[in-house]
Structure 1
């Protein structure tokens, strides 16, 4: 499957206002992707309308998605959380709302935080700045994701800001993450050199798109079996 599992909608203040969920799915389909995830900063509130979008005549049966969110820890580390379709997102959002450090969004400075429905109509605007951090550390964020049966992927691990490497200068081997995100094939090759303890069995190369044209071309592939194996392993750990 060709994928892009790090895309920001207009709910993220850094996302362009043209990043409606309908536009995102259609651009991904036009580009030839099979699986995407919309991963807004510290919010799942755009996710509730995704099912209706992919039931449209153009998209039905042609593209799939995971629920996603990009969480920012108190150390300013970004962690991508993925949840299967059908997951009850409300308790997860309640946890995020509880721990988000509240600051009113200045839309003139940071940008709007629009929530769109499946007809691309604005139905709400998030008042709290989603670029704020949560008041919990990376270990607690990863534990929370697993509590809700999600997968935790450390985002853009070699970025100069908002990455696990920027904070630790390595990837801690006692952190129970499920995967890593890098920016290129070159960075993937560097993982074992720069981070010898890194578990690199599951590595994603996503776009981190904030504009429609930035969404991945059909270059990087993943097998559904890889996701199934990860979720089975996570469920087995929970049952132990």
Structure 2
């Protein structure tokens, strides 16, 4: 996709930037009204989303207008067909899903873990359990100003701690760890709360032609696809701020 490409969809014409893009024209047809809003489609069971979140946060911490940026984490499911509570490891699930040899998957996991370690993340694929992430995404929609903290806790629970993140009681424990109320969360998970919001995010992703995550959209005008280097995310923030 380098240095950049135009795409069209729900938000009109959007420029997808790459590391060599510095002065492209941006077409903005549907801004959100914030100074700078970044929407991020990601999946809790996606290691690149964890890496991308970490790199993006590092860029945001360097951005001079950080206090003017609102970040909204939106739902995406890489494997929506995963049965709830199936209990397979990520290794077993990927071997079946992709038809790859176990050693190939282990090599791939090792490469991802090494990349994650470069940004301070400890990924343990030996203990990571495949999970359906729909309930986790519902909970993220219900977390209010704890959304980013909850997402971080969910990533860590899944990729570092070997927790089963489609188990509702486990989700309650994770939510409590970031300051949410256990009884409230338990009741929300027992209902259909935020299910439509998750489906709406998934629908927007399809309309926006999102084919992989993480996917970052600034002011519904400029987008970056993938767990790009920190400098690319800083460029995204700078360019979107100048175009606002």
TM-score by length of 1: 0.32
Flag the structure with more relative contact order, 1 or 2, with Cα contacts below 8 A and sequence separation at least 6.
2
Give the TM-score normalised by the residue count of structure 2: 0.32
Q: Which has the higher strand share?
A: 1
Which has the greater radius of gyration? 2
